[in-house]
Amino acid sequence: MASVNKVIIVGNLGRDPETRYMPDGGAITNISVATTDKWKDKNGEMQEKTEWHRVAFFGKLAEIAGEYLKKGRQVYVEGSLRTDKYTDKEGVEKFSTDIIANEMQMLGGPGGGAGGEGFSGGGGGEKRAER
């Protein structure tokens, strides 16, 4: 049986993108996206829960994300999950799960208006920058 590793999120950037370049010149951009669920509990009180998602862009898509995305901007991201293992400064083994983006659409315009522009490509993430 085939398997599927696909993630789609729509949320807001929690900070400006961070772009860096690998020795071979390939771009990597990381963003943090918040998604918020809202619901009424059994007492009729509004509740909300925000999840934060780490997203990585590679190649041309990384350059576009780094240039055009800004803190607070709403964004649509499509990609796959990847979990990496690393050792922190204290020698403790840790795990980090990121969304490796292969498609991105800027939503809401810079001033919060309607409309958006979509971009694809640059996924895969064969190369990983140091943390």
Tally helices (H) and strands (E) across the chain: 1, 7
Render pLDDT for 6-62 as a digit per residue (tens, 0 to 9).
999 999 999 999 999 999 999 999 999 999 999 999 999 999 999 999 999 999 999
Whether 59 maps to a domain, the answer reads yes
Mean pLDDT on 116-123: 58
Q: Domain count of the chain?
A: 1
Q: Is residue 1 part of a domain?
A: no
How does pLDDT run across 62-117, given as a tens digit for each residue? 999 999 999 999 999 999 999 999 999 999 999 999 999 999 999 986 544 445 55
* CATH, residue 91: 2.40.50.140
Spatial distance between the Cα atoms of 43 and 21, rounded to a whole number of angstroms: 51
